[in-house]
Structure 1
Amino acid sequence: MTRATFLNNAIPMFILLASCGASPALAQAPESLKGTAYVTSWFGGVVTAIDLAAGLAGRAIPVGVHNHNVALRPDQKQAWVTNNSTGTVSIIDTQSNSVVKTVSTGKGPRHTYFSPDGREAYVTNEFDDHVAIFDAQAAASMGVVKVGSMPHFALVSGDKLFVSNYGGGDVSVLSRSTRKTLATVPVGAGPLGAGATKDGKRIYVACHNANHVAVIDGQTHKRLTDIATDAGPVQVTVAPNQSYAYVANDGAGTVQKIDLAANRIVKTISIAPDAGSHGVGFAGDGRWLLITNTGANSVSIIDTETDEVIKTIPVPKAPEGIAVKR
């Protein structure tokens, strides 16, 4: 099944199965489980703000059509939401939890990624085959740069931008300073989300249709190896401790833990066969792993010390992206 078929046809059937339902509330939320999680809703047209300490979905913030991803600016004052079908980004003020600005990006925006200094924002536009660059403070356009076919995810590592091209089965590596392409790295069919180590030595790419995570050398741009996963890996994110990464597999409804030293799966966490596990976020300095379940209309909270689901929070239809504010 292609990713487009999954999103456009399969999810409504999953919704009829109803959500997972919340687990019994914790008697007392762990002290480190706090902050606000922002969760998109592909079919709901809203971003939901979840109070993690209370374990409850709170305010629903209206945004654009088919909102796919949400990313926090490094100062955490804003959350940028990509609206795939309206070609815009809705900018949420995280103090008032309201949209304060909407900017046009191009056709089919998927993900936003910020430079660590918070000066630039990169938005992938899958139907324009380019990345739109913005002044992240002013939310003003700084132009576009062409990449491969159907770019999905852009990731900043040092002075480089790594862009996964879903339609091309490759990753474009660009210089952020010159905007020039440095390399094009074949990674496998259907590359989507990506993660990187803080030192920039390794880039990990979830290849949805190849059922593996491709590992790229961040310096030489060589593809080093592939890590086999369950069906349909969507997003892979390196944990704050830099020892592990977690990959969400929407085709299997699982989350898998990767030992980065060995480049192998060491744990599989089952959500549900039809959960459509999709987005990955961390809270509590990495103690808590948050997974959006597109087909189950829920967010799972996983204790990374035990790698077990401790709570499930119902959210609006077809959640995909997630970002956590401290």
Structure 2
Amino acid sequence: MKHILLSAALLAATALTPAWAGQAPEAADTPDVAISHKDRVYAAEQFSNTVSVVDPVDNKTLGVIKLGDPSPGNFSPLYKGQVLVHGMGFSPDHKTLAVVSIGSNSVTFIDTATNAVKHVTYVGRSPHEAFFTPDGKEVWVTVRGENYIAVLDGQTYEEKSRITVPAGPGMQIFSPDGKYGYICSSFNPETDVVTVADHQIVARVKQDSPFCPNIAATPDGNQVWFTLKDVGKTEVFNAKPPFNLLTSIDTGPITNHVNIVHNANGTFAYVTIGGLNQVKVFKTSDFSQVATIPVGQLPHGIWPSGDGTRVYVGLENADAFAAIDTLTNKVIATIPIGQAPQAVVYVPNAVPEGDGLQNLTPLGLAGQSTHLALAPGGKAAGTAPTSVSLFDQGLVQVLQASATGLEPKHPYVLALSSRADGGGKLEPLASFMTNPAGAAIVNAIGPIRQVVQDDRKAERRYLVIAAGTAAEAGKPVQVQVQ
């Protein structure tokens, strides 16, 4: 009888304890979870305002969870949906997604088994990422447009407190043991280390630049890796006191996200380099680079499978996932998803029973876009330095250019020309300033596809990048590739 009571008590305790499993963001001693039809890969898609849902066994898109409408419908003052779906995290029991929408200042909580929205929490201006603490009791949301972390209750999803940090917190991740939260900044050159138990800042780590969009902790609890998008670097610091910087790596223009993979070959950091259309792979043991993987246009979010045999990369300017075999570091599949994928997560055992197809809709308009390239003289020798996507919104498109190969910290204008060589009078679309790596993400909106692909020669326009400003544009330095 005593043995039965003890077994019952152990079962009850197990049921109440969050069951972390798989790889990121787990501890090193957590058992791997083999890829199965119960797993799901998710992408937060900024211009279609959707979440794509993929079965990793078949590398098949099952559908999208629609959180909002395309432009210009979402400009209305009576609009109720979400705008700029961007960040993503998931709960320790793998039952809940937390999806951040920057434009509507919200965190949407989604049931992974049914794809149903179960709660929406509105926070401060321009939140960026949201992650559950390892014990599942809290959800920390970086409110990048302000100067704090919104701490939500992990069960009710209501805000219960705030952690004041330097303005512009970009993202946070936790040590695998749940002791520390690491919060990098997008506006200040500082990453803060905060104790989870009492929300106190216990260390400040200097960033080489102010713009950190992404951060990851190694499963052994020894290192924290973060990216610096403006200067094209990835830095690593000690995850434990004294939290000293370990290395700074020049990774390339528009360095986006980083994540950690452990497989039969060891432990590696995978970094997406948007301006090079590559993923670079580094050993965590000595920080040496071991692979460069071409993946497609503007790689952004990245997350490993539950057994570390794959990583999935969101291709922002290709509306696709690239699935990489981590033992060969080769792309094994390219999967169509929604528009401009940002954050990505892989959730093992997200759908423990059933087919998990409820509340999904087909890709439809979310899967429609036009892809162009710009290069000096309009001729791409190998890879064009600037990729352009025109994300279809119905009557108009959202244009996004991943511009590289330009002078650092210089003003430029994206414009239309009536000539294929880019000459003549220019019609400006957007002015921009390049970052210290000579790169920039440039956006515009309008019926642009209709004019850059017009069959009538007299009406057709060509995309160009010219030095200067909209008021005083110089000679084009990059022209649409024909």
TM superposition score category, shorter chain reference: 0.7 to 0.9
CA distance in 2, matches of 1:198, 1:311: 26
Which residue, out of 160, 163, 175, partners 2:195? 175
Aligned mates of 1:281, 1:33 — CA distance in 2: 16
In structure 2, C-alpha distance between the alignment counterparts of 1:93 and 1:41, rounded to whole Å: 18
Contact 1:50 1:58 in 2 (8 A): yes
Partner of 1:285: helix, strand, or coil?
coil
Partner amino acid, structure 2, of 1:236: V
TM-score normalised per structure 1: 0.86
Aligned to 1:187, which of 207, 210, 214? 207
Equivalent-residue separation in structure 2 for 1:177 and 1:76 (angstroms): 22
Q: Quick one: distance in 1 between partners of 2:328 and 2:58?
A: 21
Counterpart of 1:51 (choices 32, 55, 79) is 55
1:164 matched to 2:167? The reply is: no
> Aligned letter for 1:51?
D
Alignment of 1:254-265 (within 5 A): 254-265=278-289
Q: Distance in 1 between matches of 2:86 and 2:195?
A: 26
* Other-structure match for 2:223: 202
User: 1:128 is aligned with what amino acid?
Assistant: E
Residue number in structure 1 paired with 2:35: 32
Q: How does 1:91-110 map to 2 (within 5 A)?
A: 91-110=109-128
Matched, 1:280 2:302: yes
TM-score (norm 2): 0.59
Provide the rounded CA distance (Å) in 2 between the counterparts of 1:118 and 1:148: 25
2:254 is equivalent to residue 251 of structure 1: no
Match of 1:60 in 2: 64
Which amino acid in the other structure matches residue 213 of structure 1? T
Higher Cα Rg: structure 1 or 2? 2
Shift of residue 284, structure 1, vs aligned partner:
4.4
Contact kept? 1:170, 1:191, Cα under 8 Å: no
Counterpart in the other structure of 2:246: 224
Given the superposition, is the C-alpha separation of residues 161 and 83 from structure 1 closer, same or farther in structure 2, using an over 3 Å criterion?
A: same
Distance in 2 between residues matched to 1:73 and 1:324, nearest whole Å: 12
Secondary structure at 1:251 match in 2: helix
Segments of structure 2 that go 5 or more residues without pairing to the other structure are 1-33, 68-81, 349-482
Stretches of 4+ moved more than 2 A in 1?
A: 31-34
Structure 1 CA distance for aligned equivalents of residues 293 and 109 of structure 2: 33
- Please say which of residues 146-155 and 235-244 is displaced more in the overlay: 235-244
Distance 1:282 1:96, change over 3 A: same
Give how far 1:198 is off: 2.4
**2:311–2:325 Cα contact (<8 Å) kept:** yes
Determine helix, strand or coil for the equivalent of 1:191.
coil
- Tell me if the contact between 1:160 and 1:175 (Cα under 8 Å) persists in the aligned partners: yes
In 2, Cα distance between the equivalents of 1:54 and 1:141? Answer: 39
* Partner amino acid, structure 2, of 1:228: D
Pick from 305, 309, 313 the counterpart of residue 335 of structure 2.
Answer: 313
User: Cα deviation per residue 1:27-57 (whole Å; 9 max; x = unaligned)?
Assistant: xxxx836421111110001111112223221
Distance 2:332 2:324 in 1: 6
The count of residues paired between Structure 1 and Structure 2 equals 294
SS in 1 for 2:341: coil
- Whether the aligned pair in 1 keeps the contact of 2:88 and 2:131 (CA below 8 Å) is no
CA distance in 2, matches of 1:32, 1:96: 20
- 2:140–2:172 Cα contact (<8 Å) kept: yes
Is residue 277–residue 292 contact of structure 1 (8 Å, CA) maintained in 2?
yes
Structure 1 counterpart of 2:323, from 298, 301, 307: 301
In structure 2, the CA distance between the partners of 1:60 and 1:207, relative to structure 1 (3 Å rule), is same
